[in-house]
Amino acid sequence: MKTTTNDRSRLLKLASKCLKYFLIVIFGFAIAYIMSMSFGILHIAAMLLPLVGSWFLRVGILLLCLLAVAVISESVR
């Protein structure tokens, strides 16, 4: 039985790093949206929101699938 604590797979490291940066980007877009509301240029943000929202949804689903594959492969190992 393995008892090492720092033996994670590359796939799990990749999935967690991608998820971290994805959440940072979402947080940045939320701040930019709030700033655009305060400066009164909400029409530009409202125009870009459906496009950016659909991309966030697709990338989020892809990252969740990658994370699920990483967790399953780590548990099988």
Q: Can you give the pLDDT at residue 64?
A: 92
Question: What pTM, to 2 d.p., does this model score?
Answer: 0.74
| Percent of residues in the chain assigned helix, strand, coil, to nearest 5 | 85, 0, 15
Asked if residue 54 is part of any domain, the answer here is yes
Asked if residue 48 is part of any domain, the answer here is yes
Residue 1 has pLDDT above 60, yes or no: no
pLDDT tens track for 5-59: 666 788 888 888 999 999 999 999 889 888 888 888 878 878 888 888 889 999 9
Asked if residue 63 is part of any domain, the answer here is yes
Ramachandran angles phi, psi of 48, nearest 5°: -85, -20
Total domains present in the chain: 1
Q: Which domain holds residue 15?
A: 10-76
Asked if residue 72 is part of any domain, the answer here is yes
